[in-house]
Structure 1
Amino acid sequence: MSFIVSEKAIHSFKNDWDLEEGQYIRIYAKYAGGGSEAFSIGINSSATPIDPALVKSIGGFYFFIEKTDAWILKDEFLKIDSNEEGIFLNKISC
């Protein structure tokens, strides 16, 4: 379970999402619908850690994954990035 956050994403969190340094950003599993990929990964900037499996300080923000959501990144690598359309997540199997 590992992830990185690009400089472009940090810039977007500050300028487009209006987040302040020191704020927590949660990475979590969310139900996306049926089929082979019923769950996807979401991000939430209005949560605080309760029982985190991982907390990383990146670019002035604290990114975290709760123990209950850690399974979504098991044997996966996540890149949080941004482009002209906004923040996007790219999950890569290890």
Structure 2
Amino acid sequence: MINFIDSIFAPVLQFLNMIISKLAGIGTIAAKGVRLDHYFGVFGLLGPTWTGVITSFLAAFLFVFILFMIQKYNRVLLWFKDLIKWW
């Protein structure tokens, strides 16, 4: 019986594990920080003040993107939950 129940919920658990791994990958990028000098040499010419402003903007954008992805995956998870309740 336990194997049967595990086989029913296996796709949901695989999906949740995929979500966790994707968010962990994005989190490591956010933790390292984005060095604009390595990717866009033009921003290095602006000076440390403007580089800090642009880096802060990119960090804020990345944070909002992470929240958007969590919300998107949460909707799918709730859809799975409603589907299971109906079943």
Bigger strand share: 1
- State the TM-score, normalized to the length of structure 1: 0.18
CA radius of gyration, larger in: 2
- State the TM-score, normalized to the length of structure 2: 0.19
Which protein, 1 or 2, shows the higher relative CO under an 8 Å CA cutoff with sep ≥ 6? 1
